[in-house]
Structure 1
Amino acid sequence: RHFSMTSNVRHFPYSHEVLAQLRRRNMCFNSLRELIELNSELGSQTCTSKEQIRQMQQELASLKQEKHELTQSNAELMRSLESGSSGPKFTAMQEELTGLLREKASDKQAIISLNEQIKSLQTIVSKQTDELNACRESLTHHKEALRDKQKQLEENNQSLTTTATELMSKNLEIERQREQIQKLQSENNQLVQLIKSLKEAEADKHNAIVIMNEEVSKKKRESELLKGASSMQLSEASGTGMIDALSGRDRILSFGSTRPTVVKSSILAHERAEIHSLAHNASGSMLLTGSDDRTVKLWDSRSGTRLSSLEIAVKAVMCVAFSPDGHLGLAASGDLSVRVWSLKTTRVLHTLTGHTGKIYTARFATDSRSVFSSGYDRKLKLWDLGKGLVSGTMDCSSSCNDAAITREGAQIITAHLDASIRFWDVRTAQFAHELSGVHTQPITSALLHPANANQFLTNARDDTLCLVDMRKYDVVRTYRHAAYKNGVNWNRAAVSPDGQFVAAGGSEGAVFLWDLATGAHLATLTGGHTSAVAACSWGDNDQLASIEKEHKMVLWE
C-alpha cells in the first residue's frame, strides 16, 4: 500500500529514506511476481509432459497387447505347421506371419523411440521440478524479507508521523518567536530613532557651543594679534639656535586662512629619490620630509631653508611626524622600525622594533610620551617611550595606510587597504568600532578636523574625500572633482587651520582645493608639480605645503 502522506512530508527529515524503502519494496514485489509467473509456466509444462507420458504409456500397453496377440497367433501357426497343414492355406498363413513379423519389428522401433522420448521428458520434468523447488525456496525467502520490510516500513511510517507532528509543533513555535522578534525589532527601531533624535539634538547644542567658543577665541586672538603685531620679530639665527627659535615661536594667528593661489617656493627636497611623507610642527614654523633616500630633512616653512638632514633608516622613510610639544621627531620606515630623535641634537633616542611588515604610518600621542604605529603587517602597536617597549598590540585585519588620534588621546582612527575605517580604545588597547561603506577603494589618509574635535577627513583611491562624524559614524560631506585622481596609497590630504579649506594632491601633479563647509570645488593649483602629489600639509601659520613623488616640495601662498 502507498503511504498517504507522501505529498505532505517531502520536506520532512525522513522523506528520502521512506521513498527509498518503498522503491526497495516494489523491487521485491516485482521479483516475486516473476518467480510466480515462472512457477506457473513450469507447472503448466509439467502437466503437459505428464499427459504426453500417459498417452505414450497407453500406446505402449496397446503395442504390448498386440505383441501378445501376435505371439499367440504365431504359436497357433506353428502348431498348425507341425500338424502337417499345407497347401494354399499354409502359404497364406505364412505370408500373414511374415507381415506380422514386419509390423512387430516396426512396433519395436516405435517402442524404442517412445522410451527415449519418455526418458527425455522425465529429464525435463526432473529439471523443472528442481527449478520449481528452488523458486519456492526463493519465494519463501522473499516473503520473509518482505514481511521484515513491511514491518520496518510501518515503524518508519509511525516514526515519520511522530516527526511530522513534532515538526508542525516546532514550526508553530518558530512562527510565535518570529512574531515576537518582529515586535522587538519594531520597538528597537523606535528606540533607535528616539536615541538618534536625542543625539542629533545634543550634537546641535554642542555645535552651537563650539561655534560660540570659537567666536570668543577668535575675537580674543584678534585682540592679542593687534596688540602684539608691532613688536613681533623673528630671529635670523642658524643651526641649533634657529631650530630653538622656530620650535618656541608662538603660533602666528590670522583673521582666517587665506586661499593659496600661486607657487611661493619650489624646492628640490630629495635629489634622485621619491618623497613619501610631509608634516608641519604644532606652530607651523617647521616642516619634516621623508623619502626613499633613507633620510629625514627639517625645513623652515616660511623661507624653505633646510635646517638639518639625518640619515635615519636602512630603507625608505614612509612617514614623518613632530611630537605635540615640538621637541621630538619621528620616522617610520620600510626596515620595520620606528625611530624617535631629538630635533635639537639630532640624536636618535628610541628605535622601536616589532612589526613584521613595512610601516606606513606612525604618530605621537597627545602627551608626547607614547607612539602608535601600523602598516603592512595589519598590526596596530602602542609604544611607551619611557620604557622604549611596546605597550599594546591590536589586530587590524587589513593593512593600515594612515592613522590619527583624537585630541583627548582616548581613541585612535585607522584607515585601511580594505576601504574600512576602524576605531581603537587607547586605554584598553581594544577594538572599538568598524565603519564600512564610506569609501569603495583603499583609504590613504585620515586626519582630525582642526576646528571640530568630533569630525575627521579621509582620502581614498576611489578619488573622493569624506568628512566623517565620529559620534554618529556617518558621512557629513563628500568632496570630489572630475579631474581629481588619487595616485598614491599613502596620499595625505590637509585641512586649513581654521577649517575653511580642504587640500589634496592628484596623480597628474595638481593640488585641488574645496570648501570644507559646502563641499564646493574652489580651485585647482597647477604649475608646482610634474608628477603625482604624495601629501599635503597645512601648518597653523597658514602655510600650505605639498610634495610629489619625484624629488620636489612646493610651498604655496
Structure 2
Amino acid sequence: MADTKRKEPDSYGAAAPARGNGTALAKRARQEADGDAGQQVAISSAANGKDKGLIRSVRRTSSLAAPILALTGAHGAEVLDVAFSPDGAYIAACSIDRTISLWTTYGENSNLGLLAGHSKAVTSLCWSRQAPSHTPRLFTASADATLIVWDALNGQKLRRLRGHHGIINAVAVSRGPVRGAAELLVSGGDDGNVMLWDWENSGKPRDSFKVGYPVTAVEFSEDGSQVYVGGLDNEIHVYELAKKEIVFSLRGHTDTVLCARLSPSGTQLLSTSADGTVRLWDVRPFAPEPAPGHVGAPRLIRTLAGLPIGFEQVLIRGAWAPDGRRVIAGGGDGTMSLWNTETGELVYKLPGHKGSVPSVAYHPKEPIVVSCSFDMSLILGEVEP
C-alpha cells in the first residue's frame, strides 16, 4: 500500500520471538451497541486455572476451552492478518516481524510455532480450500514483493511466487477449480498489478493485468471467472478474467477500499473502507433493478456505519459469519464491530485489544471469532449464534 496510506516501521521486525501461549481467559467486556454498562459481561481467570474470578455467568456457545482467550507471546511487532483453516482446527496470523504464527483453535490453544521465510512484513494470508485437512496449505503475501506457499503443519516452504514489484497488500484463493487449475490465487499490490497464480505448478504468475493505482483488496467471484479489485480510487471493479475487462463497478465509498470479502452464498460482497463504512453489495451477474426509493448505488444493498478507522490508516478487514446473517470487522480503536446483515443493526462491539485491530475472522463451523492487533496479540472468543 502507498506510503501515505500506511505507517511502516523503520525495521520490518526483529528476530522471531519465542513461542507464545493461550492465556486461559483474557479480560474483556462485551459492550452492547447502546453502550449500556449494565449489559456488559466481564470474566477473568488466571492462566494456571487456580485463581478464577467469575463476575457473571455466561451461556457457552462453542467448544472453546473458555469463552475468551488471549493468544500472546508469538510476535514481536504488529499483527496484520488472521484466518481460520477451512476445518476450523487451526489459526494462522502474520506480522510486521516477518513471521507467521500457527495456533490450535481448541484445547490448550498451543502455538505450533513460527513460519519464517519473508524478508519484510507479512501483510496478508489465506488458506487453501482444496488441500486435505491433514496437509493444510497456507498462502502468505509480503512487503518483500513475494508470496510463499507453505505446508502449514511441518513448516515447509513449498514454493515462492515472484512477479510483483512492491508491497503485496492482499491475497485471496478461489473457491474451486478455475480455468483448468485445481485452485488459483489472486494478489494485488502497490505496483498496481493484479496477478493470478497456479501455485501448484509454477512460481510465476499465470496471468496479470495492471489497474494503474495501488491495489488494496482482491477477491474471487463464486465461480472464479471474475475478480473484485479495490484500491486507492475508492471503487471496486469487477474484472472478467477471460477478457481482462471491467464488467461493472461498485461505487459509493468515498475513500480507499480496504478489503473485499464474498459472502458464503456467493451473491454478496462485503467491503470496508477508510471512509468509515462497511458496505454490502449485490454481485449476482444479473442483479435486479433497484426498487423505487432505493438510495445509493444500484448494487448497494446496505451501508453499515460505525467502522472506526483510527489515525494509523491501516487495512481494516472484515469477515462473514458462515450463515451470512452477520458480518464483523476490525477497528482502529481496538474493538471489533459486529452487524446484522439483514437489518444493518450494529449488534455489539467487542473490546479487549490495546491497539488497532486490522483483521478478524469467523470460524467456519461455530460462533467463534478471532482478531489480531497492533498490540501483538490475538483474541479468540465465542459470540452469540
Q: What's the TM-score, normalizing by structure 2?
A: 0.72
Please name the residue that 1:83 is paired with. none
Over 3 Å counting, the alpha-carbon distance change for 1:506 and 1:285 in structure 2 is same
Q: Residues of 2 paired with 1:501 and 1:531: CA distance?
A: 24
Contact 1:296/1:312 (CA < 8 Å) preserved in 2?
Answer: no
Query: What percentage of residue pairs aligned between the two structures are identical?
Result: 25
Deviation at 1:387, TM superposition (A): 2.8
Equivalent residue in structure 1 for 2:114, among 305, 309, 314: 309
Matches within 5 A, 1:34-49: none
Deviation at 1:384, TM superposition (A): 2.1
Please name the residue that 1:282 is paired with. 86
Q: Residues of 2 paired with 1:346 and 1:267: CA distance?
A: 20
Q: 5+ unaligned residues in a row in structure 2: which ranges?
A: 1-60, 288-297
Q: Residues of 2 paired with 1:309 and 1:271: CA distance?
A: 9
Q: Deviations over 1:361-419 (max 9, x none)?
A: 11223335332211100100112221332111111222111211122211111121221
Please name the residue that 1:82 is paired with. none
Contact 1:270/1:293 (CA < 8 Å) preserved in 2?
Answer: no
Contact 1:392/1:429 (CA < 8 Å) preserved in 2?
Answer: no
Q: Which amino acid aligns with 1:372?
A: V
Local SS of the residue matching 1:407: coil
Contact 1:317/1:334 (CA < 8 Å) preserved in 2?
Answer: yes
Matches within 5 A, 1:138-157: none
Contact 2:253/2:275 (CA < 8 Å) preserved in 1?
Answer: yes
Q: Residues of 1 paired with 2:146 and 2:82: CA distance?
A: 18
Q: Deviations over 1:148-204 (max 9, x none)?
A: xxxxxxxxxxxxxxxxxxxxxxxxxxxxxxxxxxxxxxxxxxxxxxxxxxxxxxxxx
Matches within 5 A, 1:390-539: 390-426=205-241, 428=242, 430-450=244-264, 452-471=265-284, 472=287, 474-481=299-306, 484-485=308-309, 488-526=313-351, 528-539=352-363
Please name the residue that 1:273 is paired with. 77
Over 3 Å counting, the alpha-carbon distance change for 1:446 and 1:269 in structure 2 is farther
Aligned residues: 295
Q: Residues of 1 paired with 2:350 and 2:67: CA distance?
A: 9
Please name the residue that 1:331 is paired with. 140
Q: Residues of 2 paired with 1:298 and 1:263: CA distance?
A: 20
Q: Residues of 2 paired with 1:310 and 1:392: CA distance?
A: 28
Deviation at 1:433, TM superposition (A): 2.9
Over 3 Å counting, the alpha-carbon distance change for 1:396 and 1:364 in structure 2 is same
Tell whether 2:167 aligns with 1:363: no
Equivalent residue in structure 2 for 1:295, among 99, 111, 116: 99
Q: Deviations over 1:46-99 (max 9, x none)?
A: xxxxxxxxxxxxxxxxxxxxxxxxxxxxxxxxxxxxxxxxxxxxxxxxxxxxxx
Deviation at 1:337, TM superposition (A): 0.5
Over 3 Å counting, the alpha-carbon distance change for 1:441 and 1:537 in structure 2 is same
Deviation at 1:488, TM superposition (A): 4.0
Local SS of the residue matching 2:213: coil
Deviation at 1:332, TM superposition (A): 0.5
Contact 2:250/2:299 (CA < 8 Å) preserved in 1?
Answer: no
Q: Deviations over 1:409-461 (max 9, x none)?
A: 111111212211011223x25022352532001011110111x2111100111
Over 3 Å counting, the alpha-carbon distance change for 1:474 and 1:374 in structure 2 is same
Matches within 5 A, 1:174-323: 264-268=68-72, 270-303=74-107, 304-323=109-128
Contact 2:240/2:247 (CA < 8 Å) preserved in 1?
Answer: no
* Greater share of residues in strand: 2
Q: Residues of 1 paired with 2:342 and 2:227: CA distance?
A: 24
Contact 1:511/1:533 (CA < 8 Å) preserved in 2?
Answer: yes
Deviation at 1:503, TM superposition (A): 1.0
Higher relative contact order (CA 8 A, sep 6+): 2
Q: Residues of 1 paired with 2:207 and 2:225: CA distance?
A: 14
Deviation at 1:263, TM superposition (A): 5.9
Contact 1:493/1:535 (CA < 8 Å) preserved in 2?
Answer: yes
Q: Residues of 2 paired with 1:409 and 1:270: CA distance?
A: 35
Which protein is bigger by CA-based radius of gyration? 1
Matches within 5 A, 1:113-152: none
Q: 5+ unaligned residues in a row in structure 1: which ranges?
A: 1-256
Local SS of the residue matching 2:234: coil
Q: Residues of 2 paired with 1:345 and 1:495: CA distance?
A: 29
